């Protein structure tokens, strides 16, 4: 059986390299046909690799530098000794099937688009993020790869999101277009044109226009939008979540008799709530439209989040996601 090889940016993220290595081992335990290339300073990584049944499936690709979390993304292409760049090169050179990084988001995006490279015929890559919803999760695409979007891009995002949803187990994914109302004539010139394109490409799988409330609490599997609106929506969710948590905590103080037990209860409930609302639980963001599986894990990932990100990349390779997108979007 052909094993799946994933290049892990061992020095990307706030808690690197320890949690990255720990996450790698968690993934290796879970998937027997997985091999991981740890990319980063060899002398720092070696001591972190303990002898275990998994050790034979892990190897190190030396990279001397780290691409800083706050660095200007465009500089990645000039920093060829960074663990992020070198991990991306592994995919470009077909030495690995996928790239996983918890590093600088813009940097990972640059690595995906300009090192791994876009699928021929795909104009724009997109970030697909799983946001919590009453169905478990909804795929939001584009979550922020591009600020501006043309209708043709939204059309491609629809196909990317559809295939990604199938990969994640949704049998007949429904795709919605983010708009200000459900009627077809609603919205801007962009959404009106995108509506026609999506209808044409996705047929019955296109559920038409959806609204902001449908991202967290709707019935579609995929919500298509420009990177600008995806970013606004994601961060609005974050702000609303913070306000609600803060408000509930205040309630504790006012809750008299209930105070003590209420606090205990709420501590637990908010803990689980945070988990529900935390995208990193879902394995990070998949960068779609490029010639390899590229997954961005949260910068503050712990070992579990790194493992989840590796799992998503593994599933992407196993499910031939890139090939399916090349067939549907390639050479358009």
Q: Which residues contact 70 (CB under 8 A, 6 or more apart)?
A: 104
Nearer to a second copy, 116 or 145 (CB): 145
Q: Are 314 and 103 in contact (CB under 8 A)?
A: no
| Cβ at position 107, least distance to a second copy in Å | 15
**Which residues are within 8 A (CB) of 12 and not within 5 positions of it... i.e. 6 or more apart?**
20, 66, 67, 83, 84, 101, 102, 103, 104, 108, 297
Question: Do strands 136-141 and 126-133 pair parallel, antiparallel, or not at all (unpaired)?
Answer: antiparallel
* C-beta separation of 115 from 85 below 8 A: yes
Nearest approach in angstroms of CB 328 to a second copy is 28
154 vs 225, which CB is nearer to a second copy? 225
Residues lying near a second copy in the complex (CB under 8 A) are found at 132-134, 144, 147-148, 178, 180, 186-189, 211-218, 225, 227-229, 231-244, 246-248, 251, 255, 258, 261-262, 264-266, 268-269, 272-273, 276-277
**Minimum CB–partner distance for residue 280 and a second copy (Å):** 17
CB of 300 to a second copy, least distance (A): 16
Q: How far apart are CA 208 and CA 135, in angstroms?
A: 18
Structural contact between residues 42 and 79, judged by C-beta atoms closer than 8 angstroms: no
Minimum CB separation of residue 239 from a second copy in Å reads 4
Between residues 90 and 133, which has the closer beta carbon with respect to a second copy?
133
- Which is nearer to a second copy, 273 or 304 (by Cβ)? 273
Which residue lies nearer to a second copy by CB, 77 or 261? 261
């Amino acid at each position: 059986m052909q094993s799946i090889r994933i290049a892990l940016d061992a020095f990307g993220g706030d808690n690197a390299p320890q949690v990255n290595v720990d996450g790698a081992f968690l993934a290796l335990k879970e998937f027997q046909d997985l091999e991981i290339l740890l990319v980063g300073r060899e002398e720092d990584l070696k001591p972190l690799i303990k002898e275990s049944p998994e050790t034979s499936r892990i190897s190190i690709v030396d990279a001397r530098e780290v691409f800083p979390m706050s660095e200007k993304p465009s500089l990645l292409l000039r920093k060829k000794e960074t663990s992020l760049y070198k991990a991306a090169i592994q995919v470009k050179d077909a030495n690995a099937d996928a790239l996983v990084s918890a590093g600088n988001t813009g940097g990972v995006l640059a690595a995906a688009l300009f090192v791994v490279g876009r699928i021929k015929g795909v104009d724009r890559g997109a970030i697909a993020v799983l946001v919590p919803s009453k169905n478990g999760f909804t795929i939001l695409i584009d979550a922020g790869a591009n600020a501006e979007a043309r209708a043709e891009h939204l059309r491609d995002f629809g196909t990317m999101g559809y295939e990604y949803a199938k990969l994640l187990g949704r049998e007949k994914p429904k795709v919605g277009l983010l708009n200000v109302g459900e009627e077809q004539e609603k919205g801007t010139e962009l959404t009106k044109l995108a509506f026609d394109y999506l209808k044409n490409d996705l047929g019955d799988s296109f559920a038409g226009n959806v609204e902001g409330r449908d991202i967290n609490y709707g019935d579609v599997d995929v919500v298509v939008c420009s990177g600008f609106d995806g970013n606004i929506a994601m961060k609005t969710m974050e702000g609303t979540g913070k306000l609600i948590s803060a408000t509930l905590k205040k309630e504790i103080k006012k809750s008299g008799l209930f105070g003590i037990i209420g606090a205990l209860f709420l501590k637990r409930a908010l803990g689980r709530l945070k988990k529900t609302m935390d995208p990193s639980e879902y394995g990070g963001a998949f960068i779609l439209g490029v010639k390899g599986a590229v997954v961005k894990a949260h910068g503050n990932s712990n070992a579990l989040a790194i493992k989840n990100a590796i799992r998503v990349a593994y599933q992407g390779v196993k499910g031939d996601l890139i090939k399916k997108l090349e067939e549907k979007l390639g050479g358009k």
